[in-house]
Amino acid sequence: MLTKLRNAAAPALLWQGNDGFILYDGSHMIATDLDLTLGERIEEPSVALKELAENLDFMFITHGHEDHFSTQTVRYLLDYGKCRFVIPESCRQKAMTIPGLLGRSWFVGPHDELMLGDIPVSCIRALHGHLHGSVYSGASMMDCGYRFTFGGMNFYQPGDTVLLEEHLDMDNVDVLFVSPTEHNTGIQNTLTLIRRIAPGRIIFQHHSTYHEAPDNLFWTHGFVEEVLAALSDEERKKCIVPNQRTIYTL
């Protein structure tokens, strides 16, 4: 699959479930929150860990939950590849349990700026949600989403977060990843985010990845159809609801 990604018109992306994406701009291959190993997945990822380790340059991690900061996935990339990691300070303790990770990582907090080669990155606060759009009792003010310029386009990956003032102040976003789950921005706040930012492309994440059960619906079930139904025809034309075996050119 990564050979096909490299041969696609750049920038291009491939979804691997949840908010895990692999992006290629013709020079660099980067990723966000890849979990290729949790047993709760509905389907196997379309990219093998070996192939990923051979190709991936950088990975952003937004927070410490295993479906975002996958210990097994990160260990493999460390052992068999050259990938370097951008990790929030909130995850430093977890990172210290993985041999070799500290030396291959940048640890960041909200409002930090960094360069990954020629890729400029801004770190945006993320505040993890829970049931009914509430803030999670274990949420950290040091979790991060990421805004980065890649392949000539501005991307914003929020990670797991409720709607924040920082989001409402954001502009000049070409590609916006949205998470219409109960523990993120739900239906109404996803619509607010889309309309306030007015991106050129809208990519739906946090859906159709893990087996749903009554006690996990708040984080496994994405209200994708409900959001799409509430959008205008023009807004829907900007939307991509990805599957894990299709490469999308932007």
Above pLDDT 70, what percent of the chain?
100
pLDDT of residue 83: 98
Model confidence band, residue 125 (pLDDT cutoffs 50, 70, 90): very high
Return d(Cα 2, Cα 248) in angstroms, integer.
Answer: 12
pLDDT of residue 220: 98
In whole numbers, what is the pLDDT of the chain averaged over residues?
A: 97
Alpha helices in 18-160 (DSSP H): 49-55, 71-80, 92-96
Q: What are the chain's domains?
A: 2-249 (3.60.15.10)
pLDDT of residue 89: 98
**Per-residue pLDDT tens for 44-89?**
999 999 999 999 999 999 999 999 999 999 999 999 999 999 999 9
pLDDT of residue 148: 98
Q: Tokens 């523990």 — which residue? A: 183
Q: For residue 155, count CB atoms less than 10 angstroms from its CB and return exposed for 0-12, middle for 13-18, buried for 19 or more.
A: buried
Tokens of 188: 């109404």
Model confidence band, residue 123 (pLDDT cutoffs 50, 70, 90): very high
Model confidence band, residue 144 (pLDDT cutoffs 50, 70, 90): very high
**Per-residue pLDDT tens for 154-195?**
999 999 999 999 999 999 999 999 999 999 999 999 999 999
Are β-strands 113-116 and 119-125 bridged in parallel, bridged antiparallel, or unpaired?
Answer: antiparallel
Are β-strands 144-150 and 119-125 bridged in parallel, bridged antiparallel, or unpaired?
Answer: antiparallel
